[in-house]
Amino acid sequence: MSKSRNSSFICWGLECKELTVRACCPPGAPDGVITNFEIKTFDGSANPHLGLASIIITGIDGLRRKLPIPEPIEPESYVFDWNNDDIKVPGSLRCSIIHMDSNEWFKDMLGEKYMLTRGGVVGDEIGHNLCGGEEKYAHIVFNY
């Protein structure tokens, strides 16, 4: 199992940089005291405002529905089901859109105006991603 692929799954652990969410205990803090979390569910190409809004909205949803927090995992001893889409973080813009559009409460939290605007922007992004070679270059020059 490749450790670098562990961040593709919805999971968390203590002091493990390979997982999607890492609970951190700084040097000098008493054992078991967690002072912050690191989240690596999106990269530099993502919209940071939408990413943070998504984290806050899903946290509110978890609190609202009183969902339990799963136990932390140790990546070396945990067996990932690489084909289980229910525990995978969306791996592409298309998958992210499908997840976002399938949750009515999430869409309501973002608001109708945002969802309409996002639809146009995402359509352009998908069109750009489908282009190849010279066509992609022309698309970038024309649009940007």
Nearest to 69 by CA among 37, 92, 101: 37
Largest CA distance in the chain: 57
96 Cβ neighbours under 8 A, 6+ residues apart = 90
Is 29 within a domain? yes
On the question of pLDDT at 130 being above 70, the answer is no
Does residue 100 belong to any structural domain of this protein? no
pTM of the full structure: 0.64
Look at residue 75 and tell me if it is in a domain.
yes
Q: Considering only CA atoms, which of 16, 14, 21 is closest in space to residue 89?
A: 21
Distance in angstroms (rounded) separating the CA atoms of residues 72 and 6: 13
What is the C-alpha end-to-end distance of the chain, expressed in Å? 41
pLDDT tens, residue by residue, 30-68: 777 888 888 887 777 677 888 888 888 888 989 999 999
Q: Is residue 80 part of a domain?
A: yes
Total domain count for the chain? 1
